[in-house]
């Protein structure tokens, strides 16, 4: 089975990870940091809001079972893409809405998806989601991986 990667930032990565883990065709999900300037950042580093990293999920998926467009729909439906550097009570650039694309096809699909949502007027405010090339993914500390499952929780509260 040949898998592909998709990387999304949609606020606190714990809840986002749990949502993608439930998707048929998703083979693995890891939480981590991407898009910043510091090599090998820690959670503490990223929380300073000075490294430029976003909290992200890196999704390994089987494109024969789930499409990138379907993953994008899950992304759009599970966070607020109209709040700049914020999701619910979490504020800072590490909580920004961002799609890190791995291929030109992903870039085009993400851009088309975002444009379609804007055209449909699904959100009352403009979508501020960044669509940028994937950079180095730094896997978060092990205690963050499957955090909700480890603590018997099914979701984070996101407004």
Catalytic member of 6, 8, 11, 12: 12
Assigned token pair, 23? 């998707």
Active site residue 12: yes
Q: How many CB atoms lie within 10 A of CB 44?
A: 8
Q: What is the dihedral of CA 141, 154, 77, 158, to 10 degrees?
A: -80
129 burial (CB, 10 Å; 0-12 / 13-18 / 19+) is: buried
Assigned token pair, 49? 């809001």
Please, are residues 154 and 19 in contact by the beta-carbon 8 Å criterion? Answer: no
**Of 104, 107, 89, 95, residue with least CA distance to 57:** 95
Q: Give the H or E element holding residue 16.
A: helix 13-21
Which positions are catalytic? 12
């Amino acid at each position: 089975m040949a898998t592909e990667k998709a990387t999304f930032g949609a606020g606190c990565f714990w809840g986002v990870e749990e949502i993608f883990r439930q998707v048929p065709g998703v083979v693995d999900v890891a939480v981590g940091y991407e898009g910043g300037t510091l090599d090998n950042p820690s959670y503490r580093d990223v929380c300073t809001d000075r490294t430029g990293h976003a909290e992200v999920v890196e999704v390994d998926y089987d494109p024969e079972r789930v499409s990138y467009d379907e993953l994008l729909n899950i992304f759009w439906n599970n966070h607020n893409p109209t709040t700049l550097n914020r999701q619910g009570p979490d504020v800072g650039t590490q909580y920004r809405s961002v799609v890190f694309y791995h291929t030109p096809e992903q870039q085009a699909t993400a851009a088309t998806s975002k444009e379609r949502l804007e055209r449909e007027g699904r959100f009352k405010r403009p979508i501020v989601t960044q669509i940028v090339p994937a950079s180095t993914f730094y896997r978060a500390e092990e205690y963050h991986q499957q955090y909700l499952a480890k603590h018997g929780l099914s979701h984070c509260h996101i407004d």
